[in-house]
Amino acid sequence: MKLPNLFLIILVSLASSAFSQPLQKVIFIVPGTFVSADSYFELAEAIKENIADDVLIEKATFRSGFPLRIGVEKQLKELNIAIREQGFEPDITVLAHSQGGIAAGNLPKNLAARSVILASYQRSDWFTKPVPVVIPTLTIGGTRDALTPPERIALEAFDKRNESSPHKFLLLDGVNHFQFVDGRKSNRDGLSALSVREAHAKIAKFVSAFMTARWSSLENDDDMIFSTELLNGFFNSFMKDQGLCKVAQFHHLGLNDGTDLLEVEITSYDKQTKYPQFILDKSSINQEDDSYLVKGYQYTERPPSPIDVKYFKSVTPEVVGCKLRSADDVSRTLGVSLKSGSCLEMNLKVLRETASTLPVSEKQRLAQYIDLDFDADIFLSEDKDTVVGFGFDLSNKKLSRGDQWALMSLFDAEIKDGKLTIVSDSVTTPVGDPANPFYGAHYCKVIPPSKAFSYLLSFPQMK
C-alpha cells in the first residue's frame, strides 16, 4: 500500500472516530434579568421528560444578575470543553428567557446546536445590527405576555418571513411572561387562565419536539394551528398598516373596491422628524393625461427610541394620520356623485376587517365580550359622530380647520370599563377655489390595523 493512501485512511479513521463519540444532550438555561436560573428547573424538567435520551440541565450565572453576551459565550465555551473531556460530543440547546434571550441570540455553531428563545426577541438598535441566524432557533411567545407582547415576536417573524433562515416562531395561547419561568405574579405581566403546569406542558411539548427533530409531528396540533392563524393575522395587519390611507381615501369616496375613475398616490412618513413636512403637505386632485390623480399623505406615528428602534418604532403604531381629498371635491372634479364615508366609519371598517383575521378560537372567546361585526347605529351631528355597541364605543370630533387637526387634535384608543374605546378627530373643509388646496380636504385619524389586532387579542383587559 502506498504511503499517501495509508495517510488518508488514518485521517478518515480519526475523523470517523471523532464523529462517532456519543452525544450528550444538554439544556443550558440563560435566565432573565434578576431571575435565578434555578427558577426554570420545573420547565427544564418538563422538557426533559418528553425526551427519551439522557439530558443534562446546566445553568448560566451572572454576578450582576443581568445576562450579558460575553458571559453567555464564556460559559458555553467552558461547557463544550467539559463535555468533550468526558468523551462526549456536545449537543447543547440554549434555553434563554427575556433579557437572556437578547444576550444569547444568534449564537455560532461551535457553541450550541440550537437555541430556544422564550418571551424575547432579536434586539435592533443604533449600535447593534441584527445578524443572520446560523443555528436552528425557535422563538416562543405568549398571548398574555405584557412585557414582551406577542406583536413584538410577530414583527420579527414578519421581517424574516421571506428569508431562508432556520428560525421558527410560535405564539402560545394564554401564556404570560413569567409562566416561562415559575409563574410568579407581577403587576406588569398579563393575566393568564392557565396554571403554571399547563403552561409548562405547552412549552415543553414544542421545545422537546424541536430538540429531537420531531417538529413536523405537531403540524396538526391545536396549539400549532392557533399560532399559525395568529401569526398570519399579525402579518396581514402589518401589511395593511402600510397602505391604510389609500384604503381610507377610497372608503371616503364610497369606492371600497377601487375604481377606474381615478388613481390614488400616497406619500408616507413614519419618522417624527418628518411630521413638520406632513403638516405642510396638502392633498390635491389633478388631471393627468386621460385620468385623474389624487395625491394624499400618510403619517404613521411611532414613538422613537435610541435603545431599541424596532421595539418602539415598528410595533403597533399608535395612530395613522391621513391627508386626503373630500368626496365633494372629487365629485365636482370628476362630474359624478360619490357617497361620502366618514372617519368614524373608516375606524369601524378597520376594526371589522381586523377582527375577521383573528384565530377561530379567539373569535369564540371574544364573542362574550364584544360584537366583532361592530354593528350599531351611528349618531351624526355637526360637530361629532358617535357609535356605541356591545363592547365598543367610538367617537369622532369634527374640526373646522386643517391646522387644528394637525397641531392640536388627539387620538386615543384604549380598553376602558370593558369596552374598546376610540376617540378620533377629523376635518373636512368646504369645496371652494379648486386652485386652493385648503379647500376640499378630508383629514382623518385612523387606528392602525396592527394596533386593533393587538387590542382585540388582549380584550377585555390589557393585563
CB 426 within 8 A of CB 345: no
Q: Which residues pair with 28 in a beta bridge?
A: 58, 94
pLDDT of residue 434: 72
Q: CA–CA separation, 436 vs 131, rounded Å? A: 50
CB 463 within 8 A of CB 189: yes
Q: Is residue 403 predicted with pLDDT exceeding 50?
A: yes
pLDDT in tens, 229-281: 999 999 999 999 999 999 999 999 999 777 788 999 999 998 888 999 999 99
Task: Return the HEC string of 64-117.
Answer: CCCCCHHHHHHHHHHHHHHHHHCCCEEEEEEEEECHHHHHCCCCCCCCCCEEEE
Choose from 9-18, 149-158, 195-204 the range with maximum mean pLDDT.
195-204
Provide CB contacts within 8 A for 66, sequence distance 6+. 33, 34, 99
Q: Is residue 129 predicted with pLDDT exceeding 60?
A: no
- pLDDT category at 94 given cuts 50, 70, 90 is very high
Identity of the residue numbered 320: V
pLDDT of residue 340: 87
How would DSSP label each residue in 5-52?
HHHHHHHHHHHHHHHTSPEEEEEEEE--TT--GGGGHHHHHHHHHT-S
pLDDT of residue 200: 98
pLDDT of residue 184: 96
Q: Is residue 316 predicted with pLDDT exceeding 50?
A: yes
pLDDT of residue 123: 64
For range 179-196, the mean pLDDT: 96
pLDDT of residue 19: 52
pLDDT in tens, 28-78: 999 999 999 999 999 999 999 999 889 999 999 999 999 999 999 999 999
Q: Is residue 12 predicted with pLDDT exceeding 70?
A: no
Lowest mean pLDDT among 9-23, 290-304, 308-322: 9-23
pLDDT in tens, 328-385: 999 999 999 998 899 999 999 999 999 999 999 999 999 999 999 999 999 999 999 9
pLDDT of residue 433: 77
pLDDT of residue 288: 83
What structural domains and CATH numbers belong to the chain?
Answer: 20-218 (3.40.50.1820), 241-458 (no CATH)
In angstroms, the first-to-last Cα distance of the chain is 75
- Look at residues 316, 323, 325 and name the one whose alpha carbon lies nearest to residue 350: 316
Rounded to 5, what percent of the chain is helix, strand, coil? 40, 25, 40
Place of cell 364615508: 341
pLDDT of residue 352: 98
The mean pLDDT of the chain is 90
| 316 phi-psi bin (left φ>0, alpha ψ -120 to 50, beta other) | left
For range 3-7, the mean pLDDT: 50
**Most distant pair of Cα atoms in the chain: their distance:** 101
pLDDT of residue 410: 84
Lowest mean pLDDT among 5-9, 45-49, 404-408: 5-9
User: Cell triple for residue 433?
Assistant: 377655489
Angle 229-235-239 from CA coordinates, rounded to 5°: 145
Q: CA–CA separation, 200 vs 49, rounded Å? A: 12
Collapsing DSSP states into helix, strand and coil, what is residue 336?
Answer: coil
- pLDDT category at 463 given cuts 50, 70, 90 is low
pLDDT of residue 14: 45
